[in-house]
Amino acid sequence: MIKLNNQCKTEKFESVISDIAIEKCLKYSDEPEKLKELISHLSVEVKFTGIKKHFADDTVERLTGIFQVSKDSGYIASFDFGFSIYDTEAFSFDSSNYESKKYKGKVYNSNTVVKLEMNKDKQKFFDDLLYSCLTSCRMDFYCPKDFDDFCNELGYGNDSIKANEIFKTCLKISAQLERVFTEEELNYLPS
């Protein structure tokens, strides 16, 4: 089980593949048997890097991490990931000082209630990591190779330096994923 330190970081990469995680992914695949076979050849790991601003336009901090995906071939695709604000709340709540603290919009005055709620949410979060990674791989695999096409598809202005930086990052991630997955295998991934 992944254990985070007080700054919501992990020291090393840890596997996110479990029976529960696989079952969740299979529910959202058009080819569950083929996905199950593919997962048996994958290594999917995460390392949490803390709670901070991840996207250029973030106004609040979020839990961040790095996913690594590899197949039997040995090539590793590695990419930064910003988790949702909802998921971040489960890790930023200070249960040691629970008096009048808010968690998910609720005020808890009972340490027991807080710990039960947090543990339930954290376990669900960990069980969903494989799904989060594989759906991200499916989306990031297809990156337009032309900057103007990229801008048109994603709504960026083609005169934006920020858009150009995002484009270059997306191309890099797409190239890494193309070394791990075939185009056919992408169709097995959950959506």
Note whether residue 159 is domain-resident.
Answer: no
149 assigned to some structural domain: no
- Alpha-carbon distance of 73 to 93, in angstroms, equals 41
Q: Which two tokens stand for residue 81?
A: 């990931």
Please report the pLDDT score of residue 101 as a whole number: 45
**pLDDT confidence band for 69 (50 / 70 / 90):** very high
| % of the chain residues with pLDDT over 70 | 81
Establish how many alpha carbons lie within 13 A of residue 4's alpha carbon, considering only the half-sphere containing its beta carbon.
22
Whether 44 contacts 69, CB under 8 Å: yes
Q: What pLDDT is recorded for position 91?
A: 63
* pTM passes above 0.85: no
Residue 9 included in any domain: no
- In tens, the pLDDT along 135-159 reads 999 999 999 999 999 999 989 999 9
pLDDT per position as a tens digit, 4-45: 766 788 889 999 999 999 999 999 999 999 999 999 999 999
- C-alpha to C-alpha distance for 21 and 116, rounded to whole angstroms: 21
Residue 147 forms part of a structural domain: no
Tell me the residue range of the domain where 20 lies: 14-140
Task: Evaluate whether residue 104 is within a structural domain.
Answer: yes
**pLDDT for 117 beyond 60:** no
Cα–Cα distance between 129 and 51 in angstroms, integer?
17
Phi, psi for 48 (deg, rounded to 5) = -85, 135
Counted domains in the chain: 1
At 84 the three-state DSSP class reads coil
Residue 111 has pLDDT above 60, yes or no: no
User: How confident is residue 55, by pLDDT bands cut at 50, 70 and 90?
Assistant: confident
